[in-house]
Amino acid sequence: MLDKNLIVYQNGEYKKLSEVSVSPMTHTLHYGTGVFEGIRAYEIKNGVGIRKLPEHIARLFNSSSKLFIKIKETQEEIQEICKELLCVNNLKSAYIRPLVYLDDSFAGMQVGKNNTQIFIIAFPWEKYLSDTVRVKISPVRRISEQTTAHDAKICGHYVNSYMSTGEAKASGFDEPLLLDRTGAIAEGAVANIFFVKNNKIFTPKKDRIFAGLVRSAVIEIAKELNYPLLERDIFPEEIVEFDGAFFTGTASEVTIINEISLQSGQSIKFTNEIPKKIKEIYTKAVSVESLDSRNWFSLI
């Protein structure tokens, strides 16, 4: 349960969370016509920093453009609001959620009939997934790039994630692994995936996934460690050939996958140490020991 006294931002005003009001006829509530970002702030050695803040806000605007939503605030103004929320709530480590949505002015599907609303909150939130997880390939396919803007963080897209997660948990697993329309491996419900074999790292191509900002960080780390990294289509039958796997995401950071259950019911277990090494490096880079040598953070 979130603290109702948290100060949040809504449509030009700072107010308590308990004072926020949203109409049940809000367009986004009915049709999923909103966009959002998930951003993390960390206490590092030289202060409190928000990781990849400009990139996250640029992505928010890109997502909005795909839904023909115009945001009144500038990217720079939203970055400052995110920083201000950490200050007024005295938060040193937090998850920041900007949400852009459409109001209740019009109930139909005509573009431009609804007013743009914005809500931003910062709150304490632990890592989304456990340090290690058991995964199964989901019968739910990832939304297709042929039917939607697959690279946009659109509210309605996450029904796909919710359904696949529910099916995985009902089957006794921690997380799903979704395939794309071609049958290739796409991603987890809310995370990108990497595989390891023979000191090489493999990950799905960007053209049919939501390529996250922690994914980019891991690619950066892999290059520093001189691990060859290949972006290509990966199919479920190849999983038996890999000896390591891990998820990445802003909410989940780096999560080691211990086991993947295939559609056939066969279970593949992983023992490779490379995911642990990458996890350790990423975790240190966002810890109080970090001096931000990679220039990941916007300090407040």
Q: Check whether residue 237 and residue 258 sit in a common domain.
A: yes
Model confidence band, residue 129 (pLDDT cutoffs 50, 70, 90): confident
Please, which residues bridge with residue 35 across strands?
100, 154
Model confidence band, residue 130 (pLDDT cutoffs 50, 70, 90): confident
Per-residue pLDDT at 93: 96
Q: What angle do CA 153, 79, 68 make, to 5 degrees?
A: 40
Model confidence band, residue 1 (pLDDT cutoffs 50, 70, 90): confident
The residue-averaged pLDDT of 226-237 equals 97
Q: Check whether residue 142 and residue 36 sit in a common domain.
A: no
- Tell me whether residue 239 is in a domain: yes
Q: Check whether residue 157 and residue 86 sit in a common domain.
A: no
Residue type, 274: I
Instruction: Quote the percentage of the chain above a pLDDT of 70.
Output: 100
**Could you read off the pLDDT of 67-112 as tens digits, one per residue?**
999 999 999 999 999 999 999 999 999 999 999 999 999 999 999 9
Q: Check whether residue 149 and residue 262 sit in a common domain.
A: yes
Q: Check whether residue 115 and residue 183 sit in a common domain.
A: no
Q: Check whether residue 28 and residue 87 sit in a common domain.
A: yes
- Tell me whether residue 299 is in a domain: no
End of a domain among 123, 154, 188?
123
Provide CB contacts within 8 A for 227, sequence distance 6+.
199, 200, 201, 274
Residue 155 has pLDDT above 90, yes or no: yes
What's the structural domain count of the chain?
A: 2
Per-residue pLDDT at 277: 97
- Tell me whether residue 188 is in a domain: yes
Indicate the length of the chain as a whole number: 300
Residue type, 44: I
User: Average model confidence (pLDDT) for the chain?
Assistant: 97
The residue-averaged pLDDT of 152-170 equals 98
Residue 127 has pLDDT above 90, yes or no: no
Per-residue pLDDT at 176: 98
Q: Check whether residue 145 and residue 238 sit in a common domain.
A: yes
Per-residue pLDDT at 230: 97
The residue ranking higher by pLDDT, 165 or 1, is 165
Domain of residue 80 covers 7-123
Q: Rounded distance, CA 75 to CA 70, Å?
A: 12
- Tell me whether residue 82 is in a domain: yes
Residue 171 has pLDDT above 90, yes or no: yes
Q: Check whether residue 186 and residue 87 sit in a common domain.
A: no
- Tell me whether residue 203 is in a domain: yes
Q: Check whether residue 162 and residue 278 sit in a common domain.
A: yes
Q: Check whether residue 155 and residue 212 sit in a common domain.
A: yes
Q: Check whether residue 90 and residue 182 sit in a common domain.
A: no
- Tell me whether residue 150 is in a domain: yes
- Tell me whether residue 2 is in a domain: no
Name the residue among 25, 6, 24 with its Cα closest to residue 16: 6
Residue 275 has pLDDT above 90, yes or no: yes
Backbone angles phi, psi at 32, to 5 degrees: 75, 20
End of a domain among 78, 105, 123?
123
- Tell me whether residue 197 is in a domain: yes
The CATH number of whichever domain residue 47 belongs to comes to: 3.30.470.10
Which segments of 156-272 does DSSP mark as H helices, in order? 158-170, 213-224
Please, which residues bridge with residue 39 across strands?
96
The CATH number of whichever domain residue 138 belongs to comes to: 3.20.10.10
Q: Check whether residue 224 and residue 268 sit in a common domain.
A: yes
Residue 35 has pLDDT above 90, yes or no: yes
End of a domain among 62, 92, 123?
123
